[in-house]
Amino acid sequence: MQTRFLGASELAVSAIGLGCMGMSEFYGPSDDEVSLTVLHEAQALGVRMFDSADTYGHGHNEALLGRFLRGLAASAREQVVVATKFGIVRQPGEYGRRIDNSPGYIRAACEASLQRLRVERIGLYYCHRRDPAVPIEDVVGAMAELVQAGKVAQIGLSEVSAATLRRAVAVHPVAAVQSEYSLWQREVEAELLPCCAELGVSLVAYSPLGRAFLANNFQVENLAEDDFRRHNPRFQAEAAQANQRLVDALGGFAAARGCSHAQVALAWLLHKHPQLIAIPGARKLPHLRANAAATELALSAAEVAELDAMFDPAKVSGARYPDAGWAGIER
């Protein structure tokens, strides 16, 4: 497993981490004991970044990671970086949300996350979504106080613009920005990715496999009734059919190289930025192992360019979120 540093810090993480959201919510039913098996196997494979948020399962995901951490030997636990987030407030069973970035809420949310994770310090603490009514300087100032208090090691932002990132780093070092980035979602390439490179900030790519669509054999009709992808515009009818043609082309590229769709998609990302970290989700051991092996796949500049052209953003159909999902995302 390749190792990369978070921003300008000395905090080392794996180039491929593990997105844990699906172990608690949004992607249909899950099983805690199976999830714990996957988490321990990930650690054994060299995964060192585990991504969560207080809103995933309304605290369940953090509590699950807390159980995982307590099951590790002390030496192994010290190598694991848990990233979690604050800012999205939802009611149980509802997808709609409001955003809270007030300093008092940030402090209270951090304390609650520390208790659920059963740790004394959070490795990487993100502002999950931005409330434009609260100046980013106030948000980062409150997060900086958590660093000074020893409750947080590094801070990050999620789904912010390059302009917001520049304002943020003027207040306190930002280790990472998390944004959706994949072959079929490349908006960050215009401004945010170059800004991260300039400022020495890591880009953490979530949904790097297009919420599993890019991983092949995806059928919307096979999803659980409560799987949010059923209501995602990119997965609907004509959009899904158009996007499937792109996945078919990706399959031909992968087959010619003796690897999987997912491995190509992840390797492409890792070639995009030396400080990029991908956090695909995985709830099954074969998927986890295949994703981890993507760091072994080397792509030439010509192959990266071929994939760029294959997934030209103009060829991708459908929005990446339903209307309610855009709350707090800076575009």
Q: What is the identity of the amino acid at 226?
A: D
- 56 classed as catalytic: yes
Among the listed residues 56, 126, 181, 206, the single catalytic one is 56
Q: Which residues are marked as active site? A: 56
